[in-house]
Amino acid sequence: MTASADRRRPTREQWRDYARTGDLAARDGLVAAYLDLASSLARRFANRGEPLDDLVQVASLALVKAVDRFDPELGFEFSTFATRTVLGELKRHFRDKGWALRAPRRVQELYLEINQQVESLSQALGRSPTVGEIAAATDATEEAVLEAMEAGRSYRSSSIDAPIFGDDTVRDRLGEEDPGFDRVETAALLSDALEVLSERDREILRLRFTEGLTQSEIAERLGISQMHVSRLLAASLERLRIRMQDREGL
């Protein structure tokens, strides 16, 4: 990051103004100031089987989420907060979107690491590395490497929209997924995640997202400032996001 880029970064007062007003034009300016950071993080994941344009789009959308969730009163630098958010979304993209069949996260991550190490070892050795050499480079057992390579066959498989019989596609031959499954899983994760919040924080979330009250109405009901409600909501949502990501990875 150059010194000139640093000088163009928004001031803390600009962040406070956006947190107070929620002005969309201000948000666009905040996002634009950090698009170079999002693009830089996306390029870290280049050459892993996903188009760079898609990765930049994922990173840019994550940046918007980071801008909306950032609370300048918590004392963190936005670049630190945004980096964690963008990297998390990029890793989720590979973990959840790139695999045709769901493999455990540890296997997926090892497979991606193997791809990187195979390229590096091939250049260094002047030949394809053995399983033992890959295992040593990734600090994994040979059995784990073989498992990940086998699971990797499900990565980036043929499109389900590809024709198989006449005009029929694989999608046409598949049954429909019950949307209730995702809701049940999400509800279970959310119920567990809410345990990390205080009773007051859970009440604020209920008032905001179940009863549909505005932040001002919540503040009036609880006898606190609207800014305080905004900070509590942002902190609670961030804690829930981290908790649910951790639980999904188990």
Task: Quick: pLDDT tens for 185-226.
Answer: 455 556 666 777 888 888 888 888 788 888 888 999 999 988
Q: Is the pLDDT confidence value at 105 over 50?
A: yes
pLDDT at 117 over 50: yes
Task: Assign domain 185-250 one CATH number from 1.10.10.10, 3.40.50.300, 1.10.600.10, 1.10.150.120.
Answer: 1.10.10.10
Specify the 3-state DSSP secondary structure of 158: coil
Task: Give the per-residue pLDDT at 68.
Answer: 87
Res 190: pLDDT? 60
* pLDDT for res 125: 84
Q: Evaluate if residue 46 carries a pLDDT over 70.
A: yes
pLDDT above 80: residue 24: yes
Per-residue confidence band for 164, with pLDDT thresholds at 50, 70 and 90: very low
For residues 165 and 158, the answer to whether their CB atoms sit within 8 Å is: no
CATH 1.20.120.1810 domain residues, the chain: 1-98
Token duo for residue 157: 């498989």
Residue 55 has pLDDT above 70, yes or no: yes
Mark out the alpha helices in the chain (DSSP H runs). Answer: 3-7, 12-21, 24-33, 35-43, 52-69, 78-92, 105-125, 131-138, 142-151, 170-173, 179-193, 199-209, 215-222, 226-248
Nearest in space to 230 (alpha carbons), one of 208, 210, 211, 245: 208
Q: How confident is the model at residue 77 (pLDDT cuts 50, 70, 90)?
A: confident
Q: How many residues does the chain have?
A: 250
Pick the CATH number of 105-157 from 1.10.10.10, 2.40.40.20, 1.10.150.120, 3.10.310.10: 1.10.10.10
Quote the pLDDT of residue 50: 75
DSSP class of residue 178?
P
- Where do you find CATH 1.10.10.10 in the chain? 105-157, 185-250
Cβ atoms of residues 179 and 185 within 8 Å: no
Of 47 and 235, the structure prediction assigns the larger pLDDT to: 235
Question: Which residues lie closer than 8 Å to 155 by C-beta, 6 or more apart?
Answer: 49, 98, 99, 100, 111
Q: Is the distance from CB of 8 to CB of 33 less than 8 angstroms?
A: yes
Domain 1-98: which CATH class? mainly alpha
Residue 14, judged by CB atoms within 10 A of its CB (0-12, 13-18, 19+), counts as middle
Across residues 18-46, what is the average pLDDT?
Answer: 88
In angstroms, the CA 96 to CA 160 distance is 16
Q: Quick one: CA dihedral 124, 126, 128, 130, positive or negative?
A: negative
The pLDDT-based confidence of 99 (bands split at 50, 70, 90) is low
